Every structure is written in structure tokens, then in C-alpha cells.
Amino acid sequence: MDFEYSPEQEAFRKEFRGWLAANLPPDLCLDDASDDRVASDRETFERRRAWQKTMHAAGWVGVTWPKEYGGRGAGLMERVIWEEEYQAARAPVLPGNMALNLVGPTIIAWGSDEQKRRFIPPILPGDEVWAQGFSEPNAGSDLANLQTRAVDRGDHFVVNGQKVWTSGAQYAHWILLLVRTDPDAPKHRGISALLVDLKTKGITVRPLVLATGHHHFNEVFFEDVIVPKANLLGPLNQGWKVSTTTLMHERHSAGGRSHTAQIARLISLAKRVDRGGRPAWDDPVMRQRLVQLAIDAEALKYTRLRSLTRQFRGEPPGPEGSILKVSGSELGVRIGDVAGELLGMHAIVNEGSAMVPDAPRWFNRLVAARQYTISAGTSEIQRNIIGERVLGLPKD
């Protein structure tokens, strides 16, 4: 493993860091007190969309997208540097994230020339924002069980059914929808993927609010929704393969978050919070727990690097993806739990106080951290993958 960056990579980092410092409006930066990967209101959403447009005009959106689709055609290392700098600048998650990371690459892989011409150009500048319509009330981990039905009516489909946990659908213009087109086929073989305009008559988006109070995702209902045949993505009844492309990109972008800054803040909190008349940091048991978090974060960093090395060598994705997902999301939960232990009742008050000025940060950590153990494949599912494909354990 080579830890050095090449002069070109260093130059790329410097250029992006400098551009962010000069152009990122400070009031758009995340204060880390909330967990708003999806904007909390339309005004914030529109301001973030304008920010995406500014970034795009300067060539900083879709750095690894192929040049023919408007990207920079840069390599994986540039993407890693881009993410490190973007996160360090505390810049907001781009509203077009779902399209940039999941839907766009899926359309590039499976779309007809006509579909690529129509749908790809508006993605990079954020002119069209997408949602991912996969999960249903009885189809999450077992996604192939999905029941939303699309009936072939010649030149169009008629869609009826319901999706759930649809992140950002309250703002999205389009949705990549998985539907059942052949109810008689084995369940993986009767699914198709559709590109659906969310303004179409018969679609209702209803909010689902997280325990933090944040409106992150939605239920989306489809009642006799007409979708032109031209919007079928990939071959009819081959939607499972299309969705595999999307999920592969989703797993690649999940679990990559660094927890180092959070742990540093937690340690400084432990130095301030009183425990029996002394700072909590003086308690060797508490110190041990905090140090263990730091060790876990460091181990995670090297697992991430191992995963990157594998990608650089052009090797197929290894077990690191699932290991990263489980350990990264569960480390987030442990950080929240230690914050809860340090702050006691203060941890459940979503408001700063004289004793804990940054209480909202810890409230959100504590309450929101568990969602990452569910999205993009739950911890149990990741453990199944590790058990079966890495350790070779029997299925039953």
C-alpha cells in the first residue's frame, strides 16, 4: 500500500481546496448539529441546487463521470480526494447526489442512446433531481418481493402500488422505479425498471419524519399512473439486473464516512462534562471507551484503504465493502451511545444549554446513527454476506 499522493493528485487537492475556500458560502456549510443529507426545507434545497450549479459550471460535479457525459473522466483517487476535501469543508450533500452516484451511472449502463440524451445532461447541474423507488412495505432486504405492478397497455404501462423510505422524493423531479411486470415469473425475473416523472397524475408523496424531527424520506403511492414505454430502462423483465447496477454503486458510496472528527469532539466533551465532581475524562473506564472508539476509527481507515487498493488493482469488490458498511455504521452508533452516557438526560434535549452548548449535535448523533445500520443493506444482511461469502459458513 502506497500512502503517498502523486504531484498531480496533490495539485488536484490544492486546486479543489482553494476553489471551495473561495466559493463555498459559509451559511451553506453543515454545522454537524443536524443530519440533513436531504435539505430540511425547500428554500435550503433550492440554495443547495444553486450551489450544485455553481460547482458544475466550475467543473467540480461528477469528477469521475466519463467526459462524453459531461464529467471530468478523472480516476478513483481524484474521487477520494474530492470527497475528503468536500467533507473537510463541511459542504452540504448535493441535492443531485442520488442521481450523481446511483441513477446516472445506472442510466449510463443500461439506457438507450435516446434515454441517455434525454436524462443525463440535466443531472450534473442539478436541473433534474432523482429519487430511488426500490423499497416497499414488504420488500426491503428481500427486495425481489416487490409488488408494485406495471401492466402493459401497448405503448404505455399503468402502474399501481406503493414505495416507502423514498429519500428526498418531496423535492425530486424523477424516480427510478422498480415494478413487477410479470407476476407469474420467478420473482427475480418478473421485475422491470422504469424512469418515472414524479409530476405524473396519480402519484402522491407523503412525508415520513425521522425521530430527529427531520423530513428525510417519504411514502410514494401510485394510482393508475401512466408511464410511456419509452421510459423502460433496460429490457422488459430484466429490472433485477438493472437494480444490481444501482445497488453496486450504492454499496460503493456507503460506509466511507470518517468518524475521526466526531471522536475528537466527543473527547473534548468528556473533558468538559462533570462526573462526580471531576471531568469525565479523568475516569479511566470512560477514557478506555473513548480510546477504543479512536482505535476502531483507525482500523476502519485501513480497511477503507485496503478496499481502495483492491479497486486500483482492478480486482473485483472484496469483503471489505460489507465489513466497511457494518463497522462504519455501528461505530457511528457506539459514538452516539457514549455521548448519551456522558450527557445523561441532556442528550435527549435537542437544544443547546449552558452546560452543553452543542447538545443538538449529540442528540442527532444518538437518535440518527441507527439509520445507517439499515440503509443500503442492514447490518444483519451484511453479516450474512460476510458469513457466507468470506467465512464460507453454511446458509442454514
Ligand X SMILES: Cc1cc2nc3c(=O)[nH]c(=O)nc-3n(C[C@H](O)[C@H](O)[C@H](O)COP(=O)(O)OP(=O)(O)OC[C@H]3O[C@@H](n4cnc5c(N)ncnc54)[C@H](O)[C@@H]3O)c2cc1C
Enumerate binding residues for ligand X (CB under 6 A): 132-135, 140-141, 165-167, 216-217, 371, 374-375, 378, 380-381, 384
Cβ atoms of residues 158 and 224 within 8 Å: yes
Minimum distance from CB of 374 to ligand X (Å)? Answer: 4
Minimum distance from CB of 129 to ligand X (Å)? Answer: 12
Residue nearest to ligand X (CB): 140
Compare residues 103 and 293 and give the one whose CB is closer to ligand X: 103
- Round to whole Å and give the CA distance between 129 and 123: 7
Cβ neighbours of residue 250 closer than 8 Å, sequence gap 6 or more: 101, 102, 132, 376
Minimum distance from CB of 33 to ligand X (Å)? Answer: 18
Give the residue among 169, 135, 392, 92 at the shortest CA–CA distance from 243: 135
15, 250, 315, 330: the active-site residue = 250
Residue 320 a catalytic site member:
no
Compare residues 137 and 344 and give the one whose CB is closer to ligand X: 137
Q: Find the length of the chain.
A: 396
- Round to whole Å and give the CA distance between 55 and 14: 16
Minimum distance from CB of 281 to ligand X (Å)? Answer: 33
Q: Are strands 278-279 and 274-275 parallel, antiparallel or unpaired?
A: antiparallel
- Round to whole Å and give the CA distance between 274 and 234: 60
DSSP for 258-310? --HHHHHHHHHHHHHSEETTEEGGG-HHHHHHHHHHHHHHHHHHHHHHHHHHH
Cα-trace Rg, the chain? 22
Compare residues 212 and 290 and give the one whose CB is closer to ligand X: 212
Strand partners, 161: 222
* 3-state SS assignment for residue 219: strand
Minimum distance from CB of 302 to ligand X (Å)? Answer: 27
Name the residues annotated as catalytic.
Answer: 250
